Structure 1
Amino acid sequence: MATLTIRNLDSQVEELLRVRAARNGRSIEAEAHAILTEMVGPSPREMRNLAEAIGHRFAPLDGVELELHPPVAIEQQRDRAYEIMKRRYNALRELAR
C-alpha cells in the first residue's frame, strides 16, 4: 500500500475531518481512507448491475447479511397482480354506480 501525505491542509478542513471521523467511530486516517475510497471508486454509472452497485454502497459497513426470499414463480406473481387489479377495478365500478 502507498503512503499519502497532504501538506498545508486548511485547519477548518482538518477539524471537519476530525468531527466526521468521530461521528463514524473511526480515526482521522481511517476516515480519510474511507472518503478517498468512496470518491475514487467506480461511479454508479460504471457499475455493471444493481447488485454490484449495492455491494459498493455497503462495502464501508463490511457487508450486510440478508435473508434470502424464497423463490416465487413468475406465474404466481402475475396471478396475484391480476387478482389485485381485478378487485380494484370492481371496487371502482361499484363506486361509479
Structure 2
Amino acid sequence: MPSLVVRNLDESIINALKARAVAHHRSTEAEHRAILAEFLLSPQRKTFAEALANIPSVGIDSDFQRVNDNTMATNVFD
C-alpha cells in the first residue's frame, strides 16, 4: 500500500490531530487516514447557491406572494 509523508506541519495541527485520535480511540496515523478518506471520498456538499439554483422553476410569482396579516400570533412555537 502506498505511503504519504506530510512535512512542515504546524504544531497546533499535530496536537489537534492527536486529540481527535484520542477522542475516536484511534492511533494518530489511523485518524489521519480517516480524515483523508472522509474528506476525499465523501460526496461533496452543495453550496447554498447551488441548492437554490437546483430548485425547479414552477408556478408564477403571484403564487408565492406574501399576504400581509396584521394579527398578532401568540404561542407560534408551541
TM range (shorter): 0.5 to 0.7
* RMSD (Å) for aligned C-alpha atoms: 1.3
- Give the structure, 1 or 2, with the largest relative contact order (CA under 8 Å, sep 6 or more): 2
Residue identity over aligned pairs, in percent, reads 42
For residues 42-87 of structure 1, the C-alpha deviation after alignment (integer angstroms, 9 at most, x for no partner) is: 4167xxxxxxxxxxxxxxxxxxxxxxxxxxxxxxxxxxxxxxxxxx
Secondary structure of the 2:13 match is helix
The total of aligned residue pairs comes to 45
TM-score, normalised to structure 2, is: 0.54
Matches within 5 A, 1:43-82: 43=43
Structure 1: 4+ residue segments shifted above 4 A: none
TM-score, normalised to structure 1, is: 0.44
Q: Give me the whole-angstrom Cα distance separating, in 2, the residues matched to 1:7 and 1:29.
A: 14
Q: Give me the whole-angstrom Cα distance separating, in 2, the residues matched to 1:44 and 1:5.
A: 25
